[in-house]
Amino acid sequence: MPNDTATEVSTSATELVSSGLVATELAAANHSLSETNADLERRVLERTTELAHANGLLRLKEQTLRLAQHFGGAGTWDWEISTGRLTWSDCYGSPDCLDDDSTPGTYSGWLETLLPEDRVEVERRLNACLLGQEDEFVIEYRIDHPPRDIRWMAGRGRCIRDDAGKPVRMIGLRIDITDRRRAEEAARAARDEAERANLDKSRFLAAASHDLRQPVQAASLFLGMLERRDLDPETRDLVGMVSSSLEGLRGMLNGLLEVARLEAGIVDPQMRDFPIDDLLHRLASEFEEQARVKRLWLQVPPASLVVSSDPLLLELILRNLISNAIKYTDRGGVTVECRELDGCGVVEVADTGRGIPDDKFTVIFEDFRQLDNPARDRARGFGLGLATVSRVARLLGYDIGLRSELNNGSVFSFKIPLASGHETAGSGRTDLLAEAPGDLTGRSIVVVEDDPAILMALEMLLGDWGLEVHSASSVQDVPTLLDGLDRVPDLLAVDYRLPNGSSGLDVVDIVHRRWPVPAILMTGDTAPERLTEAKRSGYRLLHKPINPDDLRRTLVDCL
């Protein structure tokens, strides 16, 4: 019995120990489970916080996107090709453009909202994108939006394809560009209006110039004859004053002509090498009297450079710069010089005049702009001098530089290419334009001019030169005139614009059917299209008012 009792006691002790161990393990497991649960709760809380933050950012970004869509007039669209289902988030879908108002529809339903004349091109571009002919769908089109009338849209999209390359959907963006298109249309309308106004201005100036040139031409021819008469000193002085006034008017009219010729694009630079000293000193002689009358000095230092340019166009630039400098200089004088610098010729026209404000450096090169001439004194010209300088300089590839200080004068300058292997020019000067007037005695000329005063003046002047003159006033009179001639005429001088819509070219054609007579066209027209047409004819062209010496020189040159 004692052994049995001991055994039981031992067993009980063992069970108690075992139970204690289980309890300890259970306690430990429970503690571990509590820690794990706390960790999970912490992690869940962290993730929940992160998710809430991410959702907040997402909402902010969505709101930002919608604001961008709202202010940009944009909407997104998603077209499921297999079903034709079309979903878009459009700023027209809600009053404030911020609510998510995805409106499902169909492709065909959307197509119906487009103006009929735009649908064909939209479908073509969409199909090109679906077929892979274009990477993206990009087009502008119009929709009929009842609350907002007709709207312009810019559509952009990209095709999404499956692994086999088959298109499954197209997503994209459409932007309301109505304001931009309206602004473009307004700008286009303003530009068209400005072009019409400019055309009307050109037509007015051409008509006014033509009508002014006719009487000036007659006066110039009559005056040319009068200057050749034996006059007493007092009468010759009066004739000189009239001639000077007429020359000023001719200069202003020629300014209009140069603008018209440049606008018509009929001026082709004829580049050649020549000593610039000849040109500078001829201009100095021409403007010397004008400077002397204003008690100004005009200095033109010798220039030993041979330059490469169009001598007539270069003269036009210098003539306008010198004339402008003298007009706007009251004390001191004007200096014109050309010197070599860095392998180029640098031409400068400097004056001691009133100067030009910095903010007017660009304005002075515009047509009909004159500073300090509010009364529009026509003795100072039309304000075309510097505009002509700018046009001719661009034609020759020159940049006109300007330095000026108020009350301390101005300096206009530009660079000009030197002739290849330029050596010092010889001392002997050659007049670029002067030619000895040849003898016209005994020659025969046919003249067609519709203005009676100009026709009379031409008949008298040409007769004084010894020419046999045969004249008519219209195209219709020419055949009868030619039938009455007893010999082939040597020359033909014809006004370009004749009555009843005919032109001098019609006269030339009639004469040339009989004889190949050298022809000269005379015109007072400055309309660009007329100048272009006359230039294209290939005949010699003289612009009214024609200087008698120029007319004689041209006649001799044509023989």
Burial class (CB in 10 A: 0-12, 13-18, 19+), 7: exposed
CA gap 521, 501 in Å, rounded: 16
Q: Per residue, what are the HEC states of 380-414?
A: HCCCCHHHHHHHHHHHHCCCCEEEECCCCCEEEEE
Contact predicate 435/358, CB 8 Å: no
3-class DSSP state for residue 77? strand
CB 346 within 8 A of CB 220: no
Residue 41 CA to residue 312 CA, distance in Å, equals 96
For residue range 431-486, list pLDDT tens digits in order: 333 344 567 888 999 999 888 888 888 888 898 889 999 999 889 999 999 999 99
pLDDT at 355: 84
Which is it for the CA torsion 395, 399, 403, 409, positive or negative?
A: negative
Show the 3-state SS of 171-235.
EEEEEECHHHHHHHHHHHHHHHHHHHHHHHHHHHHHHHHHHHHHHHHHHHHHHHHHHCCCCCHHH
Environment class of residue 284 by beta-carbon count within 10 Å: exposed (0-12), middle (13-18) or buried (19+)?
middle
Q: State residue 116 phi and psi, 5-degree precision.
A: -50, -40
pLDDT of residue 187: 87
Strands of 244-290 (E only): list them.
272-275
Tokens 């004008």 identify what position?
290
What percentage of the chain has pLDDT greater than the value 90?
Answer: 13
Please give the torsion angle defined by the CA atoms of residues 483, 487, 491 and 496, in that order, rounded to the nearest 10 degrees: 0
Residue 526: predicted pLDDT:
62
Nearest in space to 392 (alpha carbons), one of 511, 258, 218:
258
In contact, 287 and 349? CB cutoff 8 Å: no
Residues of the chain with pLDDT under 50: 92-102, 374-379, 381-382, 424-436
For residue 445, which phi and psi values (nearest 5 degrees)? -140, 140
Identify the pLDDT of residue 378: 44
Residue 153 belongs to what H/E stretch? strand 149-161
Tokens 């988030």 -> residue = 89
Query: Exposed/middle/buried for 213, CB within 10 Å: 0-12, 13-18, 19+?
Result: buried
Number of neighbouring beta carbons within 10 Å of residue 246: 15
The Cα 183–Cα 336 span in angstroms is 49
In angstroms, the Cα distances linking 526 to 253, 314, 536 are: 10, 22, 15
Q: Is the Cα torsion angle 197, 198, 203, 208 positive or negative in sign?
A: positive
Residue-wise pLDDT for 179-205, tens only, equals 888 888 888 888 888 778 766 666 666
Give Cα separations from 305 to 150, 399, 433 (angstroms): 68, 20, 19
CB-based contact 186:422 (threshold 8 Å):
no
Please report, for residues 86, 198, 232, the alpha-carbon distance to residue 204 in angstroms, rounded to integers and kept in the order given: 59, 10, 42
pTM of this prediction exceeds 0.75 = no
Distances (CA, A) of 260 to 144, 266, 509, 536: 48, 9, 26, 15
Q: What is the largest CA-CA distance in the chain?
A: 184
- The answer to whether 172 and 129 have CB atoms below 8 angstroms apart is no
Report d(CA 159, CA 138) in Å as an integer.
12
* pLDDT one-digit tens code per residue, 55-71: 777 677 666 656 655 66
Task: Scan for tokens 């004859």, then name that residue.
Answer: 225
CA angle 263, 265, 269 (to 5 degrees): 120
